[in-house]
Structure 1
Amino acid sequence: MASPSQIITLFLLLLGAFAEARDPFACDPKDATTSNLPFCRVSMPIPARVKDLLGRLTLQEKVRLLVNNAIAVPRLGIKGYEWWSEALHGVSNVGPGTKFGGAFPGATSFPQVITTAASFNATLWEAIGRVVSDEARAMYNGGAAGLTYWSPNVNIFRDPRWGRGQETPGEDPVVAGTYAASYVKGLQGSNGERLKVAACCKHFTAYDLDNWNGVDRFHFNAKVSKQDIEDTFDVPFKMCVQDGNVASVMCSYNQVNGVPTCADPNLLKKTVRGQWKLDGYIVSDCDSVGVFYNTQHYTSTPEEAAADAIKAGLDLDCGPFLAQYTENAVTRGLLNEADVNSALTNTLTVQMRLGMFDGEPSAQPFGNLGPKDVCTPAHQQLALEAARQGVVLLKNHNPSLPLSHLRHRTVAVIGPNSNATVTMIGNYAGVACGYTSPLQGIGNYAKTIHQMGCADVACADDTLFSEAINAARQADATVLVMGLDQSIEAEFKDRTGLLLPGRQQELVSKVALASKGPTILVLMSGGPIDVSFAKNDPRIGSILWAGYPGQAGGAAIADVLFGTTNPEGKLPMTWYPQGYVSNLLMTDMAMRSSPNRNYPGRTYRFYKGQVVYPFGHGLSYTNFVHTIASAPTVVSVPLDGHHRSGNATISGKWIKVNHAKCNKLTVGLQVDVKNTGSKDGTHTMLVFSTPPAGHWAPNKQLVAFAKVHVPAGSQERVGINIHVCKFLSVVDQSGVRRIPIGVHDLHIGGVKHSLSLQPATLGVIKT
């Protein structure tokens, strides 16, 4: 019998021939009055084409192009365009730019970003981006989607209660930045000037609160130090722009130090476009301009708000505000038409890089993609592989996993997420090609006895407990699939605590006490959960975290449970005990701990207290041993020649990053990874650095990560290159990045290597 995904694939193939091709957005070769205008000439440089088009538009037409639902300009043969589409982990139906149905009933739904991040696999991240952009282009060609996608979300998962933490690559800036650059490269393609689709890194910056304790994102003023901005919050965005060459950056709802991000020229014009050299456009989060006028009361008049946003560097408004008030702002002298032209130059350039002014879509690169290229078997296989790589084995006592086909013929599958489908794809998802729930996945390996135990994740009562306990008594093994869903953590909704909701913990403990065989706890969630009770309960043999594992999540979970897949995921965020958040305000943005005010600090880089599971934790069914085959013990840091060096005390030695020759300043290591166990496995190798002691420095920071497949009993050598200026530097209290001179300890698993950074000339700059 065909699976649901096979049926949908066949349905797509049958529909493929009937999909309508999209008419040209502009420059239709059949329209003789417009197709020969200079801005339609593909042979001309894009800047010249944009300049020609701008010269033909009236001010009234220009201001209606400053918003997401840009108007048509029929006299120039240009159709209307909806800029707002989303592709966080697959083509999404959030936003009006994408429509499912007809020839496109669904799209491949990959694991939520927090799960994919747990793979620590940049190659996978880029591969997912390529698949998503294939499907996006196919849907665009069929008239069902746009080409501008406001994804990915690369904000730092600063507080474990944040409802949108699930959308992010986790708490580490380097992981988030590497994810951003990798996924963006996959989405946008490798053709330099030309774009497959246009990606967008959001939400810039220090945005990580939705609605907590009466404070919402529309009113929140994030008070952030220069040190934390440079050291943490801006790192992923800078890497997204400079390493990923992203086509867009989105400014956020909140204020940063009293200024709305979408009205701050220091953030937009000076930093994103000036220092980082964004080659693209800056867009507001939806209705952000209206929010800072109507809700934050940042300006006296709406015209001032429109003028402030555009002069700050905003090019496009998701929302109607700029279309309503920009013309009056120009008329009143608050804004020059040249400022409007500058904004449109950036958006029109991206549209031309996408080929939207090149005539027939079918004649362009990617013009052959259609319904046959959506939900393909290869795409769905990648979704399954991504889910497998993202599953994290947190505990494996005795060990209890993997389960045996022979000994565990009957499995009790219990819990509110045990037969989950839509829950598995998290938020900002579209319509999946099909689903394999945990119950279905486990059913492919063993006979199942299914009981929900709780009516939903809220688990308000124990009405269904007795049936669940009875099922555990009968089965050879028990799998409890518990956790959260979008009713607990979501956009607009931050969590109040870190424990399992309602009476879930009680259900788990009672079922474990009654279970005849091993008890396995599987958790679905975006944020961390305090499961100390299960960690410390010997009756609960193993704990898996699956995040929100996407359309194939149930198959991936089952593959790990029965050992077809050897788990390789690592936690991309710290799992804290409930006590961590008891007196911790979400509104306090400081990253570093402060004993004077009893402030614990945030993320593994700055928090030193007790954890349930640390960042980077994840077990395997085999054992890996590291040996450093070669690594330097001393590295010279050359100065750029424009600064004289002077002496400094040993305790205060450092070099400003902008005073060093950084271009090719890397540390190369060769690490041997040996699999001393009995099962083949893929090892996720994390390399941390502990800088020389000092109040600027984190406890440790991730400086590199790599994946390596090692068959049982064999050994593989892995090369690691660490960019000194980027990853071995720290940031001072003024927001200046510096390289500490002295001993940096590199940690790889249980191995430590000491590396001494020394100035190439005598003495060190100190200013």
Structure 2
Amino acid sequence: MSDDGGLITRPPFRDTRLPVRTRVADLLARLTLDERIAMLHQFAPGVERLGLAPFRTGQEALHGVAWMGPATVFPQAVGLGATWNPELVRRVGEAVGREARAMRARDPRVGLNVWSPTVNLLRDPRWGRNEEGYAEDPCLTSALATAYTRGLRGDHPERWRTAPVLKHWLAHNNETDRDTTSSSVRPRVLHEYDLAAFRGAVRAGAVAGVMPAYNLVNGRPNHVSPYLREQLRTWTDQELVVCSDAGAPSNLVDSEHYFDTHEEAVAAALLAGVDSFTDHDQDASKTIARVRGALERGLIDASTVDTAVGRLLAMRCALGELDELDEFEGAAGGIDGAFDTPAHRALALEAAEQAVVLLANDGLLPLSESGVRTLAVVGPLADECKLDWYSGSLIRRSTPREALAERLGADRVVFADGLDTVRLRTAAGWVRVPDAAAEGEGPAEEGPTDEGPTDEVPADEGSLDPAQTAGRTDLPPLTVGDTPTDLSLADWGGGVLTLRAPSGRYLTVADDGFVRAAAERPGGWVVQETFTLEAHRDGHLLRHLGTGGYVCVAAGGLKVAERDGSKEETVFRLEVVERGEDAVARAAARADAVVVVAGNDPQIGGRETEDRTTLALPAQQERLWRAAHAANPRTALVLTSSYPYAVGDAADALPALLWTAHGGQAAGTALARVLFGDVSPAGRLPQTWYASHDELPDLLDYDIIASRATYLYFDGAPLFPFGHGLSYTDFSYGELSVRREAGLTVECEVTNSGPYDGDEVVQIYASAPGSRVPLPHRRLIAHRRVRLRRGERVRLFFTVPIEDALGFWDVAHGRWTVDPGTYEIHAGASSADLRATATVTVEGPPPAPRPVLRRGLEAADYDVADGIVLVDRTKVRGDAVACRDDAVGRLLFRACDFGAGATSMNVEAARDAAGAGAGDDATVEVHLADGTTLATVSVPPTGGRYAYTAVHAALPTPPTGVQDLHITLRGGLRLARLGFSD
């Protein structure tokens, strides 16, 4: 009621009783075109006359609210993947969503459109962003992504706690040249692997949208991907929002050169389905000008803008942005904010415990407090709680050393970090850290705090986290003199080094170029704390990797010279005061047992923008576990890392080996509880651990079928298989039964037959012996993590749609299919430890051959290929095939039905006259399996890569019946399809 007793009239877009579509349509009609255009940028301004507040798409929340100050930090995403526990992951998502709401209440800059989770499959463990994904398997990834987004979204049917966006659409697994490389993805891999990771969460209704990846797929940038409309938007009736990755809209012209002008690029992105443009940080003017230019040129019209803005407003409506706050909270049943609660702290510990994977154990574990009077805790990560690029600031933390000292007493824990103690000498004297820095306070310990979010807020994925920058200039630079300073040197592999002063601070380089002992930890979009030593004359040059320049002695102290500066300026001689392995050996010899904690720093040698080149453990860390084991056979190696390592020697030599991702704030406590048996480990590997990187295909080879990659197709013997993980107890499996009801129903019995209570992860796999097409050796179709007391038995039931369990993408007919035949269903403890098997028979007509006379052959729908790459048929949609490097390519199409005979053929192809090989012949040769040549067609220059022509050829020897067809391509052409007629 108004003050005079009359009714208050609100515009329809404020009326919570109306459907979202009605509210959005009303608001759109009230906005001017300029106001709508402005909303397409990540930082949408407010509209004061309508009472609309500013809105920002994008808030990182991969394993806790990131970049906005103190928050609960959960294990890395790959660690959450190792839990194999969707219900736990859902609760983590719920906690993160509640903290986002709580932080939002304190600071409106905290976004509710969260860009999480990352569902790119961990196809190659060398990928720098391995830490961000859940698993190499689409079934497991989909289950966990669905769970996390459900937690973030909340349970209310209309009101959303946060609006999650899945990253990164599509087929994105390389950081090397990530904005210019193209992932060649055949239709089977596209549908069975890459799309499958996104499909489940979208169909579950828990996702607000997706973010396209930087890379191209089949020659076309993901930001103009036709799959956004042809696949993504067909999976749900919900209005999904597509948010661009940072800077990617500009990449369409600037680095990818896919379009000539930014107006064309922004129009194409909008027409493809991109709704929000993350570009030029908070400066929206360039995006606005480009959209206006596209409108003026007639590349798009106002309805295109309205479609995108309508989706954004629908998301804002679901988040309560169009409601009165009290009405929204009430309608949502209390979408409240809970921050750093005891429940969240307990959940962080539970998640860290469940993420620990026991890789090998020869009876050393669990340790007993009575049997271990003194414990050596050693290694570069033994007293660390590492953060990654998408971590929040720690409110509290625990390291392995701290947690074990708290448990046993500090006097019973012997520590050595295993770093080399070194001195650096120049011709001008010893390198020294000035007393003001060397004797100052060490790195600040992060403990309970009531601080609010930081003052600076990163605009997008390319922005710096203020907590991880090292721009301090209040400390004096390093100097040279008569007295040396001992420095701790860590070698992270590949010659990448960090150096720490006695204070514990890292040597770093600020904007003024001087080297200081000023950083609490390595970090930043460009890490400023890493160096390398390059052999030079009788010493070394010290190169700063962040700038590429060399460290030299200058007026005022050590400084990084300009990148093109002389290498002759300063030669450093390295003196090793003590090798890290010697200190570790001494500590190990004093103890009853040893825990070596090794692994990676998430900011170094494998992270966003940087792929790894090897799976090898850094040589310095290899020496540490070997030295510890030589001094004390009771040595366990704990790998705390964002990705797998090839550690075959350690697995063979050591009595115990564990892996955990960086476990967030409770990492140390969780590890201590597992080591001493408070928790029986039950984490399982979410990806294959290979014996060597030599077993991996090229990083850019996305065809997992042809390259035999991931556990699905790998033909070798892995070091540790997908799904592997041991326990302190034993589990036995009873008979497995499978029946066809509403889908495929699998029933199995599991018993805890060992001495401890514990969790078992029951894994259900399907295989198709004798399949007519190459299918996975076995593929995960269901799983469940179940808690069993000693002696407890449980009967488990799983129901899976037949198509999901046994189907594949039939390239011959362009659809999902399940072939008739006998399939095997397995239950077990890993993909290689199958305890029970049953069979199920699918009946039906035999597969039909390719109807080539009626449908022709799409070149991309091959069965087998060699020497080819998939390319964009047009800039809008469709795929074609080209020879890799304009050389020779071969295609095989099986079971082509030519009926009574095909007498002619049309080859649809394009050839750029200005392209490489334009002066050479470009031919398409078609022949049968017996070597009979049907025709050889020369493709003339057509005037451009998208200018297709149809070249007709008679078939003097008409093929008849069902036959395999072989095609050989030569030269710089693009083959789109072949048509046949009788």
Counterpart of 2:23 in structure 1 is: 49
Structure with greater Cα Rg? 2
1:416-460 deviation digits (Å, cap 9, x = unpaired):
100111x1x433111122101111121133221110002436276
Instruction: Report the CA distance shift for 1:744/1:125 in structure 2 as closer, same or farther (over 3 A).
Output: same
1:416-427 correspondence runs (5 A): 416-421=380-385, 423=386, 425-427=387-389
CA distance in 2, matches of 1:429, 1:35: 45
- Determine the structure 1 residue equivalent to 2:39: 65
| Gap regions ≥5 residues in structure 1 | 1-28, 94-98, 101-105, 594-598, 636-663
Give distance in 2, aligned partners of 1:278 and 1:386: 31
The CA RMSD over aligned residues, in Å, is 2.3
Q: In the alignment, what sits opposite 2:703?
A: 590
1:15-414 equivalence runs, <5 A: 36-93=10-67, 99-100=68-69, 106-144=70-108, 145-211=110-176, 216-264=177-225, 266-319=226-279, 320=284, 322-360=287-325, 364-365=329-330, 373-397=338-362, 399-414=363-378
- Which one scores higher on RCO, CA 8 angstroms, separation ≥ 6? 1
Question: d(CA) in 2 for partners of 1:629 and 1:233?
Answer: 30
| Contact 2:58 2:115 (C-alpha < 8 Å) held by counterparts | yes
- How many angstroms does 1:566 deviate by? 0.1
Q: Which string of whole-angstrom CA distances, capped at 9 and with x for unpartnered residues, describes residues 81-110 of structure 1?
A: 2212111011111xxxxx32xxxxx21111
Match of 2:490 among 428, 448, 456: 456
| TM-aligned CA deviation for residue 506 of structure 1 | 1.4
Counterpart secondary structure, 2:665: coil
The percent identity for this pair of structures is: 33
The whole-number CA distance in structure 2 between the counterparts of 1:363 and 1:758 is: 50
Give 1:766 deviation, angstroms: 6.4
Corresponding residue of 1:683: 760
CA contact 1:745–1:752 (8 Å) conserved in 2: no
Alignment of 1:615-630 (within 5 A): 615-628=722-735, 630=737
Instruction: Please tell me whether the aligned partners of residues 457 and 485 of structure 1 are also in contact (alpha carbons under 8 angstroms).
Output: no
Given candidates 652, 655, 661, the residue that maps to 1:536 is 652
Alpha-carbon distance between aligned partners in 2 of 1:316 and 1:426, rounded to the nearest angstrom: 26
Using the alignment, how far apart are the partners of 2:714 and 2:846 within structure 1?
33
Q: 2:806 aligns with which of 725, 728, 732?
A: 728
Could you tell me which amino acid in structure 1 is paired with residue 709 of structure 2? R
**In the alignment, which of 584, 589, 601 is matched to residue 473 of structure 1?**
589
SS at match of 1:620: coil
After TM superposition, give the deviation of residue 35 of structure 1 in Å. 8.2
Query: Does the residue aligned with 2:826 lie in a helix, a strand or coil?
Result: strand
Q: Deviations over 1:483-523 (max 9, x none)?
A: 112202110011110011232111211111012x5101000
Q: What amino acid does structure 2 have at the position aligned with 1:435?
A: R
Change (3 A) 1:435 1:766: same
For residue 438 of structure 1, what is the aligned residue in structure 2?
400
CA–CA distance in structure 2, aligned partners of residues 573 and 47 of structure 1: 42
For the Cα contact (< 8 Å) 2:744–2:799, is it kept in 1?
yes
Shift of 1:715: 1.5
Q: Distance in 1 between matches of 2:848 and 2:181?
A: 40
Q: Residue 614 of structure 2 contacts residue 693 of structure 2 at CA under 8 Å; is this kept in 1?
A: no
Distance in 2 between residues matched to 1:482 and 1:342, nearest whole Å: 51
The verdict on how the C-alpha distance between 1:763 and 1:530 changes in structure 2, with shifts beyond 3 A counting, is closer
Question: Deviation at 1:324?
Answer: 3.0
2-side partners of 1:551 and 1:35: how far apart?
50
Corresponding residue number in structure 1 for 2:554: none
CA positional deviation for 1:279: 3.0
CA–CA distance in 2 between the matches of 1:627 and 1:500? 39
Sort the Cα spacing of 1:198 and 1:310 in 2 relative to 1 into closer, same or farther, 3 A: same
**Cα contact 2:329–2:335 (8 A) shared by 1:** no
One-letter identity of the residue aligned with 1:108: T
- How far, CA to CA, are the matches of 2:815 and 2:726 in structure 1? 38
Q: Which residue of 2 aligns with 1:744?
A: 823
Alignment partner, residue 7 of structure 1:
none
| Equivalent residue for 1:550, pick from 650, 664, 669 | 664
The one-letter code matched in structure 2 to 1:622 is: T
Contact 1:224/1:589, CA 8 A, preserved across alignment: yes
Match of 2:530 in 1: none
Could you tell me how far apart the structure 2 residues matched to 1:349 and 1:332 are? 29
Q: Write the distance in 2 (CA, Å) between the matches of 1:384 and 1:438.
A: 13
SS of aligned partner of 1:136: helix
**What SS class does the counterpart of residue 673 from structure 2 fall into?**
helix
Structure 1 residue 543 displacement after superposition: 0.5
For the pair 1:711 / 2:827, whether they are aligned, the reply is: no
What is the CA deviation profile of residues 195-235 of structure 1, one whole-angstrom value per residue up to 9, with x for unaligned ones? 11100111000011112xxxx11111111111110011110
Q: Is the 8 A contact 2:736 2:748 kept in 1?
A: yes
Q: Spell out, residue by residue over 1:105-130, the C-alpha distance to the aligned partner (whole angstroms, 9 max, x if none).
A: x2111100111111111111111111
For the Cα contact (< 8 Å) 1:110–1:386, is it kept in 2? Answer: yes
User: Using a 3 Å threshold, how does the CA distance of structure 1 residues 696 and 85 change in structure 2: closer, same or farther?
Assistant: same
| Distance verdict in 2 for CA 1:476–1:315, change over 3 Å | same
The question of whether the paired residues in 2 share the 8 Å contact of 1:141 and 1:361 is answered with no
Which residue number in structure 2 is paired with residue 659 of structure 1? none
* Structure 1 letter corresponding to 2:215: N
Alignment of 1:623-702 (within 5 A): 623-628=730-735, 630-632=737-739, 635=740, 665-694=742-771, 695-702=773-780
Residue 519 of structure 1: which of 635, 647, 666 is its match?
Answer: 635
Contiguous gaps of at least 5 residues in structure 2: 420-488, 498-575, 829-833, 851-982
Deviations 1:547-579 (A, max 9, x none): 111110111111110000000011000001224
Whole-Å Cα distance in 2 between the matches of residues 733 and 157 of structure 1? Answer: 25
Query: Could you tell me which residue of structure 2 aligns to residue 14 of structure 1?
Result: none
In structure 2, what is the Cα distance between the partners aligned to 1:751 and 1:167?
Answer: 31
TM-score, reference length from structure 1: 0.85
8 A contact 2:642–2:661 mirrored in 1? yes
1:157-182 residue CA offsets vs partner (Å, 9 max, x unmatched): 11110010111011001011111111
SS in 2 for 1:673: strand
State the TM-score, normalized to the length of structure 2.
0.67
User: How far did 1:716 drift?
Assistant: 1.6
Is it true that 1:498 corresponds to 2:631 in the alignment? no
Q: Judge conservation of contact 1:92–1:428 (CA < 8 Å) in 2.
A: yes
Count of residue correspondences: 678
For residue 367 of structure 1, report the CA deviation from its aligned partner: 9.4
